[in-house]
């Protein structure tokens, strides 16, 4: 049996790092259907999981994959799937089920160009709204966005931790550029990796109600097969899990499902601030685009323009208050994305009436630093 965690320095691509991050987080069940540019995650998990006592299953489609991930989660196993935009489209109904049944799991989307089957081998950031609003109903989502191979590892671990803490599916949104990029990855010793496990019931089996939450709004979770009474359904339900179609039950349940995230936005939000304390121009970017933005901000500073970068590491929940505060003292905001306008809408809403310049980029290549720099200069004119 091979080593559980491959500590040390490696020169690998992002998908490989994601798989190793999942293993380090304790993932022992992986189910997926092959899809570019996420297939390498499945290939790595297929190799590694059987050697450490885990299970890999290639399903006939993405519907079966996400359904089995929910089942594995309810059996007490940390579980993950990975796909790209077309696969997410097929998974969205069951992602809604995972939200309603509060099944912790991780869903990786290595984003490629769309709509439909689009451009399988080309990077994109066009699924950020799909993961937020794709399933129906009032829901809240957590989505993390890496900008390096190292963060493909680190944020996969963090995605599992957040899914376990708040009992919901957590997205890792990696553009294909990061998923297929080769860089140095440092995997720390197991003792240095922070791991969070779901809260377990502390009361007797007879008194246990699977959806009875405390003041933190997250119910303790027992495993199927451990002798606790369970009724898990996608229908609106009471604390025992039984369907309840009353107005009161819908109001209470939906508020709790949303508020367990809304009440913790400041704890969940992750971002990196680069020279924002005195900036006149604020650049907002994430993923591969943030790397170009960081270079543009440095060059702008060399030219005497006080530019700063807010790199979003979590895009959902959206750090509205943070951006609003930073934008209150700047001349303008520049947003760059590999899409035709998604997160920029959230930024515009948060910073109004501060003007926003948008740099969309469609196709294979992320925006260049000089393209972002030109927009920064434009704000200064």
Query: What does DSSP say about strands 29-32 and 79-83: parallel, antiparallel, or unpaired?
Result: parallel
Environment class of residue 320 by beta-carbon count within 10 Å: exposed (0-12), middle (13-18) or buried (19+)?
middle
Mean pLDDT confidence for 99-104: 98
What CATH number should be reported for the domain holding residue 280? 3.40.50.920
Task: Give 230: exposed, middle or buried? Use CB within 10 Å, 0-12, 13-18, 19+.
Answer: middle
Above pLDDT 90, what percent of the chain?
96
Query: Rounded to whole angstroms, how far apart are CA atoms 341 and 64?
Result: 32
For 103-127, how does the pLDDT look when each residue is reduced to its tens digit (9 = 90+)?
999 999 999 999 999 999 999 999 9
Confidence band of 364 (pLDDT split at 50, 70, 90): confident
For residue 2, is pLDDT > 80? no
Calculate helix-pair angle for 14-25, 149-166, nearest 10 degrees.
30
**Cα torsion through 35, 164, 259, 210, rounded to 10:** 110
Q: How many domains does the chain have?
A: 2
Confidence at 230, pLDDT banded by 50, 70, 90: confident
User: Does 252 fall in a domain?
Assistant: no
Calpha distance 127→135 (Å, rounded): 13
- What is the pLDDT averaged over residues 268-285? 98
Summarised one tens digit per residue, pLDDT across range 159-168 is: 999 999 999 9
In a shared domain, residues 67 and 166: yes
Percent of the chain at pLDDT exceeding 70: 99
Residue 218 lies in a domain: no
**What is the number of alpha carbons within 13 Å of residue 7 lying toward its C-beta?**
6
The answer to whether residue 229 sits within a structural domain is no
Which pLDDT belongs to residue 104? 98
Last residue of a domain, one of 174, 192, 210: 192
Could you tell me if residue 55 is inside a domain?
A: yes
105-113 and 79-83: which strand pairing?
Answer: parallel
Does the pLDDT at position 374 exceed 70? yes
Residue 248, pLDDT above cutoff 70: yes
Flag whether pLDDT at 226 surpasses 50: yes
Q: What is the mean pLDDT of residues 148-166?
A: 98
- Whether 204 is in a domain gets the answer no
Q: Are 289 and 181 in a shared domain? A: no
Mean pLDDT value of segment 59-70: 98
Domain that holds residue 122: 8-192
Write down the mean pLDDT value for the chain.
Answer: 97
Q: Is residue 258 part of a domain?
A: no
Can you give the pLDDT at residue 371? Answer: 97
Q: Which of 192, 220, 255 delimits the end of a domain?
A: 192
- Are 283 and 296 in contact by the 8 Å Cβ rule? The answer is yes
Residue 1 pLDDT more than 80? Answer: no
pLDDT of residue 349 exceeding 90: yes
List the CATH number of the domain containing 101.
Answer: 3.40.50.970
> What number is the average pLDDT over the span 316-325?
97
Say yes or no: 173 and 285 in one domain: no
Q: Is residue 257 assigned to a domain?
A: no
pLDDT at residue 381, as a whole number: 58
Pick from 57, 54, 43: nearest CA to 2: 54
Which of 192, 208, 232 delimits the end of a domain?
192
Angle at 87 (CA atoms; ends 82, 91), nearest 5 degrees: 90
Give pLDDT, residue 40: 98
């Amino acid at each position: 049996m091979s080593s559980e965690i491959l500590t040390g320095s490696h020169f690998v691509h992002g998908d490989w790092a994601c798989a190793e991050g999942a293993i380090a987080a304790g993932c022992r069940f992986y189910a997926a259907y092959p899809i570019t540019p996420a297939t390498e995650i499945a290939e790595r998990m297929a190799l590694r999981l059987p050697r450490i006592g885990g299970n890999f299953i290639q399903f006939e489609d993405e519907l079966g994959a996400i359904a089995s991930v929910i089942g594995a989660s309810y059996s007490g196993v940390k579980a993950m799937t990975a796909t790209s935009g077309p696969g997410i489209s097929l998974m969205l109904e069951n992602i809604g089920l995972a939200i309603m049944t509060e099944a912790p799991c991780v869903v990786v989307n290595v984003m490629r160009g769309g709509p439909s089957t689009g451009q399988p081998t080309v990077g994109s950031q066009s699924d950020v709204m799909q993961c937020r609003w794709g399933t129906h109903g009032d829901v809240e989502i957590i989505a993390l966005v890496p900008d390096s191979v190292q963060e493909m590892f680190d944020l996969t671990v963090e995605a599992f931790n957040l899914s376990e803490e708040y009992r919901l599916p957590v997205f890792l949104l990696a553009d294909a550029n990061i998923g297929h990029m080769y860089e140095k990855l440092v995997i720390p010793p197991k003792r240095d990796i922070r791991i969070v496990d779901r809260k377990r019931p502390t009361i007797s089996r007879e008194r246990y109600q699977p959806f009875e939450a405390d003041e933190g709004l997250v119910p303790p979770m027992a495993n199927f097969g451990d002798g606790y009474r369970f009724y898990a359904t996608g229908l609106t339900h009471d604390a025992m899990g039984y369907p309840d179609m009353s107005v009161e039950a819908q109001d209470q349940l939906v508020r709790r499902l949303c508020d367990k995230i809304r009440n913790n936005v400041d704890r969940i939000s992750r971002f990196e601030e680069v020279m924002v304390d005195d900036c006149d121009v604020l650049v907002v970017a994430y993923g591969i685009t943030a790397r170009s933005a960081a270079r543009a901000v440095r060059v702008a500073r060399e030219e005497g323009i006080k530019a700063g970068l807010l790199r979003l590491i979590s895009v959902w929940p959206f750090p509205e208050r943070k951006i609003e505060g930073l934008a209150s003292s700047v001349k303008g905001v520049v947003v760059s994305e590999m899409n035709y306008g998604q997160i920029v809408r959230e930024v515009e809403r948060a910073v109004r009436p501060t003007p926003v310049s948008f740099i969309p980029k469609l196709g294979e290549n992320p925006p260049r630093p000089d393209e972002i720099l030109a927009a920064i200069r434009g704000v200064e004119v």
